[in-house]
Structure 1
Amino acid sequence: MMSTLPLSRRLRCLVPLLAGALLAAGAAAAEPVARAKVEAALPALDAQAAKAVADGLVPGLAIAVVQGDALLFAKGYGLREAGKPGAVDADTVFQLASFSKPITATVVAALVGDKVLDWDTPVAALDPTFQLKDAYPTQQVSVRDLLSHRSGLPGDAGNELEALGFDRATILHRLRFVPPSSSFRAGYSYSNFGFTAGAVAAAAPTGKPWEEVAREKLFAPLGMASTSARHADFIAYENRAELHIGGAGRWAAKVTRQPDAQAPAGGVSSTARDLAQWLRLELAGGLFEGRRLIPQAALAATHQPLMTRGNNPVTGAASFYGLGWVVEYGRHGVSWGHAGAFSVGARTLVTIYPDADIGIVVLANAFPTGVPEGLADDFFDRVFGTPGRDWMGPWNAAYEGMFAPALAAARARFAPPAQALPGAPSAAYEGRYANAYVGGAQVLAAGGGLELRLGPDGQARFPLTHFSRDVFLYYPTPELPEMPSAVTFTLGADGRAASLTLEDFDGFGLGVLARE
Structure 2
Amino acid sequence: MTRPVFSTRLAAACALLFAATGVLAQAPAQRPLPPPVSTGDTARPMLPAQLADFGAYVDSARKTFDVPGIAVAIVKDGRVVMEQGFGLRELGKADKVDARTLFAIASNTKAFTAAALQQLAEQGKLNMDDRVVDHLPWFRMSDAYVTHEMRIRDLLAHRSGLSLGAGDLLYWPPTSYTTKEVVERLAKVPIKNGFRSGYAYDNILFAVATLVIEQASGQSYADYVREHIFKPVGMDESLIDKTYLKPGMDVATGHAKADFKDLKPVPPMAWLNDPGAGGIYSSVHDLAKWMNVQLAGGALPTTGANGKPQRLFSEQSQHEMWSVLTPIKVGKPPIPELAPLTPQFSGYGESWFLSDYQGKKLVWHTGGWPGMVSRLTLVPQLKLGVVVLTNAESGAAFNAITYRVLDAYLTPDKQTDWVAVYDKAVKKAQAKADDSFAKHEAARAKASKPSLPLAGYVGTYRDPWYGDIAISQEGGKLRLRFSHTPQLVGTMSPWQHDSFTVRWDDRTLNADAFITFALDQDGHIREARMEPISPMTDFSFDFQDLRLAPVEKGAKGSDD
TM-score (norm 2): 0.81
2:239 partner letter? S
Once the two structures are superposed, what CA deviation does each residue of 1:140-161 show, in whole Å capped at 9, x if it has no partner? 1112112011111222112123
Cα 1:360–1:226, aligned 2, differ >3 Å: closer, same or farther? same
Match of 1:169 in 2: 180
**Alpha-carbon distance in 2 for matches of 1:109, 1:38:** 34
Answer with 138-147 or 223-232: which moved more.
223-232
Corresponding residue for 1:322? 349
Residue 304 in 1 paired to residue 329 in 2?
A: no
Letter in 1 for 2:321: T
SS in 1 for 2:83: strand
- Partner AA of 1:274 in structure 2: D
Quote the offset at 1:125 in angstroms: 1.0
Structure 1 match to 2:113 = 104
Residue of structure 1 in register with 2:207 after alignment: 196
* Offset at residue 434 of structure 1 (A): 1.6
Distance 2:45 2:3 in 1: 52
What is the aligned-residue identity percentage?
26
Q: Distance in 1 between matches of 2:362 and 2:407?
A: 13
Residue of 139, 155, 168 corresponding to 2:148: 139
Q: Indicate whether 1:278 and 2:305 are aligned.
A: no
Amino acid at match of 1:310: K
- The aligned residue for residue 151 of structure 1 is 160
Q: Aligned pair 1:354/2:380, yes or no?
A: yes
Please tell me the residue identity of whatever aligns with 2:299.
Answer: L
Deviation of the 1:49 alpha carbon: 1.9
Counterparts of 1:279 and 1:417, CA distance in 2: 55
Name which of structure 1's ranges 326-335 and 106-115 shifts more when overlaid on structure 2.
106-115
Greater mean deviation of Cα atoms: 346-355 or 416-425: 416-425
Q: Which residue of 2 aligns with 1:337?
A: 364
Deviation at 1:86?
A: 0.5
Partner of 1:420: 448
Deviations 1:382-415 (Å, cap 9, x if unpaired)?
2222422222233344456556534532343256
- Name the CA distance, whole Å, in 2 between partners of 1:340 and 1:149: 15
List aligned pairs for 1:85-484, cutoff 5 A.
85-163=94-172, 165-167=175-177, 168-234=179-245, 236=247, 238-246=249-257, 251-254=263-266, 256-289=268-301, 290=303, 291-311=310-330, 313=333, 314=338, 315-317=341-343, 318-342=345-369, 344-384=370-410, 385-398=412-425, 402=429, 404-414=431-441, 417-456=445-484, 460-476=488-504, 478=506, 484=512
- 1-side partners of 2:250 and 2:351: how far apart? 28
- Give the CA RMSD over aligned residues: 3.2
> Residue 19 of structure 1 contacts residue 338 of structure 1 at CA under 8 Å; is this kept in 2?
no
For residues 408-436 of structure 1, the C-alpha deviation after alignment (integer angstroms, 9 at most, x for no partner) is 32343256633122442233222222232
CA distance in 2, matches of 1:46, 1:12: 25
Q: How far 1:53 moved relative to its partner? A: 3.5
- d(CA) in 1 for partners of 2:3 and 2:325? 30
Q: Which residue of 1 aligns with 2:15?
A: 18
Q: C-alpha displacement at 1:281, in angstroms?
A: 0.9
In structure 1, the residue matched to 2:548 is: 512
Question: Given residue 445 of structure 1, which amino acid in structure 2 is its aligned partner?
Answer: Q
Aligned residue pair count: 501
Q: Counterpart of 2:476 in structure 1: which amino acid? A: G
Are the counterparts in 2 of residues 42 and 379 from structure 1 also a CA contact under 8 Å? yes
CA change 1:347–1:481 in 2 (3 A) is closer
Within 1, Cα distance between the matches of 2:229 and 2:510?
42
Q: Whole-Å Cα distance in 2 between the matches of residues 256 and 14 of structure 1?
A: 17
* TM-score, scaled relative to structure 1: 0.87
- Mind listing any 5+ residue stretches in structure 1 that lack a counterpart? 27-34
Question: Relative to 1, partners in 2 of residues 1:275 and 1:322: Cα closer, same or farther, differing over 3 Å?
Answer: same
5+ residue gaps, structure 2: 24-43, 304-309, 533-541, 553-560
Write the deviation string for residues 297-343 of structure 1: whole angstroms up to 9, x where unpaired: 1122111122222337441012211111111122141111112223x
> In 1, distance between residues paired with 2:437 and 2:273?
29
Paired residues of 1:432 and 1:441 also in contact (CA < 8 A) = yes
Structure 1 residue 17, shift from structure 2 partner: 2.2
Q: Which amino acid in the other structure matches residue 214 of structure 1?
A: V
Greater helix fraction, Structure 1 or Structure 2 = 1
Query: In structure 2, what is the equivalent of residue 29 of structure 1?
Result: none
CA contact under 8 A between 2:459 and 2:550: conserved in structure 1? Answer: no
Query: How many Å separate the matches in 1 of 2:242 and 2:507?
Result: 20
Give the match's secondary structure for 2:362.
strand
Is the contact between residue 89 and residue 252 of structure 2 (CA under 8 Å) also seen in structure 1? yes
* CA distance in structure 1 between the aligned counterparts of 2:549 and 2:397, rounded to whole angstroms: 42
Provide, for residues 67-99 of structure 1, a one-character-per-residue CA deviation record: whole Å limited to 9, x for no partner. Answer: 232122111110000111110000000011222
1:123 counterpart letter in structure 2: V
The letter of the residue matching 2:367 is G
Distance 1:13 1:358 in 2: 26
Shift of 1:356: 0.7
The secondary structure found in structure 1 opposite 2:234 is coil
Contact preservation (8 Å) 1:158, 1:172: no
